[in-house]
Amino acid sequence: MSWFNELEQVLNALHNGIVAVDTEERVTICNGQAERMLGVPADRVMGQKLSNVLPTTGLPEVLKSGKPQFGKKVALGDRVLITNRTPIVEEGRVIGAIAVFQDVSDLESLATELRQMNELNKELEAILESFYDGIGIIAGDGTLLRVNTSYERITGLSKHDNGVGCNVRELQDNGTVSQAVALLVLNQKKPVTIKQRIKTGKEILITGSPVFNEEGEIFRVVCNIRDMTELNLLKERVESTEQQNIRYAHEIKELRTQLWRHDDFVFRSVSMERIFKLIVRVAHVNSHILITGESGVGKEIVATLIHELGPRVEGPFLQINCGAIPENLLESELFGYEEGAFTGARSGGKKGIFELCQGGTLLLDEIGEMPMNMQVKLLRVLQQQEVVKIGATKPIKFDVRVVTATNKDLEEMVAQQSFRADLFYRLNVVPILIPPLRERPDDIVPLSIHFLEVFNRKYGRNIRFEPEVLLAFESQSWPGNVRELENLIERLVIMNEDEVLTVKHLPFKPNVVVEPQAMVIQVNEPISFRHAVEMLEKELLQKTLRSYPTTRQAAKVLGVSHPTVIRKMQKYQVALNDLNRQ
């Protein structure tokens, strides 16, 4: 074998590709590895112009410059080659050039994957660091692999003692943590949440979640950590906000009631002021309320106000007069009946008032007139919060606030055994006693002005009162209470053609005689009730004190106590000496 053949065999045995050219750029060497790398058979390349068959080798540049080139990257299809190009020098003269190729496609792929892994690792690191909660990642064997900065902030553990690289069982044994949640997750193979105490004294809430591989085995446990101190502070803030909201809602309700009462619940007396405050307070609770008082004092208005100011305002407000319905019909009205329950029963049955009033307020008026056998059934209904229709077997649950009213003395009826004691105690959770109108004369004038304005508007009139009329009203005992006063004013507005009503229009003889004066009360002015009443009080006070020399005589004429006259004089800055000089 000639030396040339030996050289050829040696070149073909090399792992690298080799291509050489002469000074005319004709290929003189192309080994087997070069054929495979370049994808060109050697017999087609040998002796050919290099630029015609392999234009990307870079050898012509080396021939011209006579300088070697190292580590040049060449892309051929899906292959990546690294080439070193060297001139062939003989006796100081370049007689050719040779290129050595190495296929680094696999290395390039690994390098790309490594770059991608580095980028993913940086991205994961950035994500973990962005969490406000602490994050810890544990391997399937229990080794703590990594934690974020929030973990160190929440636990109070520094980078030197955060446990990274240690097994969580070791951290549990040495007291770094009170209990390792990862061990529970690895054992139970499901998410676990526990409270954990750290050796720094911090108490944390930690949730461990398993991550499964394709074989269904846990290969990671991800732990989410929150500072219980921060959670407790957040809870306190939420509770404080809720309390503020409740307080604001109550204040808004109070303001709404202040506006509401001027239109529908007219009063000025101290006793009714106390009752109004009690109504506002109990309207927000669901306790049973028993309203008592003489006939005509306004028990129904009080019940309506309780409903309007309470949380059930969006629900229905229904009432039933227990004394106006025959005993044999009262049960069906209260509880309803099924179809065919008795002869004449309506097709499809009928809902009782408890069922119709679902979510609202029910007023049982004249509760003292309820028969004894119905009292037993009502007591059961109130205790069980359910009704059974006549002819039915299944009870119906209800959510109704029950308010009762009566003009009877139920305590006396209990003593006489005409009213059940157990029902009385069930109903009398919050008692509201409305005094008769004769015991609160301060309310007569504002009520009179209110009713006059209402009926003027209703009947299209413009009636006015002389002050003597209001004084006469205050002197009456009003056995029919507010209802009697309201009915009288309505009758006066309807029956009289005069625009100014004097004592001669009254159907009764006044108990107080005051000389007629020219002053009249105009009620269609756009002023508030309070302002109108104060103006009237001041005028009446001045007028009476001019006619009577002492405050005691004036108190008797006005039908009020002597301290009341003194208090009113101080309020309106009225002096006897000034009046006597006028």
Other CB atoms within a 10 A radius of the CB of residue 541 amount to 20
Confidence of residue 427 (pLDDT cuts 50, 70, 90): very high
| Share of residues in the chain with pLDDT > 90 (%) | 31
pLDDT value of residue 347: 77
pLDDT value of residue 306: 92
Q: Tell which wins on pLDDT, 579 or 329.
A: 329
Residues 517 and 569 in one domain: yes
Q: Which of 571, 279, 316, 234 is nearest to 433 (CA)?
A: 279
Confidence of residue 127 (pLDDT cuts 50, 70, 90): confident
CA 571, CA 368: separation in Å to the nearest integer?
44
Kindly state the average pLDDT of the residues 52-74.
81
Alpha-helical segments (H) within 476-523: 481-495
Which are the contacts of 136, defined by CB distance < 8 A and separation ≥ 6? 144, 146, 147, 151, 222, 223, 225
* Residue 368, burial from CB neighbour count under 10 angstroms (0-12, 13-18, 19+): buried
User: Which of 128-142, 189-203, 364-378, 541-555 is least confident?
Assistant: 541-555
**Residues 50, 79: contact at Cβ < 8 Å?**
no
Q: Given 3-state DSSP classes, what are the helix, strand and coil percentages for the chain, each rounded to the nearest 5? A: 45, 20, 30
**Residues 206, 193: contact at Cβ < 8 Å?**
yes
pLDDT value of residue 340: 72
Which of 408, 435, 462 is a domain's end point?
435
Q: Tell which wins on pLDDT, 524 or 433.
A: 433
Backbone angles phi, psi at 33, to 5 degrees: -65, -35
In a domain, 114, yes or no: no
User: Which of 323-332, 368-377, 540-549 is least confident?
Assistant: 540-549
The string of pLDDT tens digits covering residues 149-188 is: 888 888 888 878 888 889 999 989 988 888 899 999 999 9
In a domain, 550, yes or no: yes
Of 91-95, 129-133, 212-216, highest mean pLDDT: 212-216
Query: Measured in whole angstroms, how far is the alpha carbon of residue 458 from the centre of its chain?
Result: 44
Kindly state the average pLDDT of the residues 104-123.
76
The whole-model pTM stands at 0.51
Residues 389 and 458 in one domain: no
pLDDT value of residue 544: 79
Confidence of residue 299 (pLDDT cuts 50, 70, 90): very high
**Residues 391, 341: contact at Cβ < 8 Å?**
yes
Confidence of residue 130 (pLDDT cuts 50, 70, 90): confident
The string of pLDDT tens digits covering residues 439-498 is: 998 889 889 988 998 999 999 998 888 888 888 898 888 999 999 999 999 999 999 888
* pLDDT exceeds cutoff 50 at 262: no
527 SS3 class = coil
pLDDT value of residue 75: 75
Residues 80 and 154 in one domain: no
In a domain, 55, yes or no: yes
Confidence of residue 407 (pLDDT cuts 50, 70, 90): very high
In a domain, 157, yes or no: yes
What does pLDDT average to over the chain?
84
In a domain, 249, yes or no: no
pLDDT value of residue 1: 43
In a domain, 235, yes or no: no
The total number of residues written for the chain in this structure: 582
pLDDT value of residue 459: 92
User: Which of 36-40, 213-217, 283-287 is least confident?
Assistant: 36-40
Q: Which of 555, 554, 545 is nearest to 576 (CA)?
A: 545
Residues 430 and 465 in one domain: no
Which of 435, 467, 490 is a domain's end point?
435
* pLDDT exceeds cutoff 80 at 380: yes
CA atoms within 13 A on the CB side of 375: 21
In a domain, 125, yes or no: no
* pLDDT exceeds cutoff 60 at 101: yes
* pLDDT exceeds cutoff 70 at 251: no
Residues 315 and 353 in one domain: yes
Kindly state the average pLDDT of the residues 418-429.
95
CA 558, CA 536: separation in Å to the nearest integer?
13
Q: Which element (helix H / strand E) includes 277?
A: helix 270-282
Could you tell me the residue range of the domain that residue 58 belongs to? 3-108
* pLDDT exceeds cutoff 80 at 346: no
**Residues 322, 369: contact at Cβ < 8 Å?**
yes
Kindly state the average pLDDT of the residues 119-123.
80
Kindly state the average pLDDT of the residues 274-296.
92
pLDDT value of residue 303: 94
pLDDT value of residue 516: 44
Which of 406, 435, 464 is a domain's end point?
435
pLDDT value of residue 526: 63
Residues 552 and 521 in one domain: yes
In a domain, 242, yes or no: no
Residues 411 and 449 in one domain: no
* pLDDT exceeds cutoff 90 at 316: yes
CA 279, CA 271: separation in Å to the nearest integer?
13
Distances, alpha carbon 181 to alpha carbons 193, 194, 231, 332, 491, in Å: 7, 7, 19, 63, 84
Confidence of residue 57 (pLDDT cuts 50, 70, 90): confident
CATH of the domain at 276: 3.40.50.300
CA 160, CA 147: separation in Å to the nearest integer?
12
Residues 446 and 566 in one domain: yes
Residues 415 and 480 in one domain: no
Residues 23 and 64 in one domain: yes
* pLDDT exceeds cutoff 90 at 383: yes
The string of pLDDT tens digits covering residues 482-514 is: 999 999 999 999 998 888 888 888 988 776 554
Distances, alpha carbon 294 to alpha carbons 51, 265, 409, 425, 443, in Å: 124, 18, 10, 21, 16
Residues 518 and 373 in one domain: no
* pLDDT exceeds cutoff 70 at 253: no
Residues 416 and 483 in one domain: no
* pLDDT exceeds cutoff 80 at 279: yes
Domain total for the chain? Answer: 4
Confidence of residue 113 (pLDDT cuts 50, 70, 90): confident
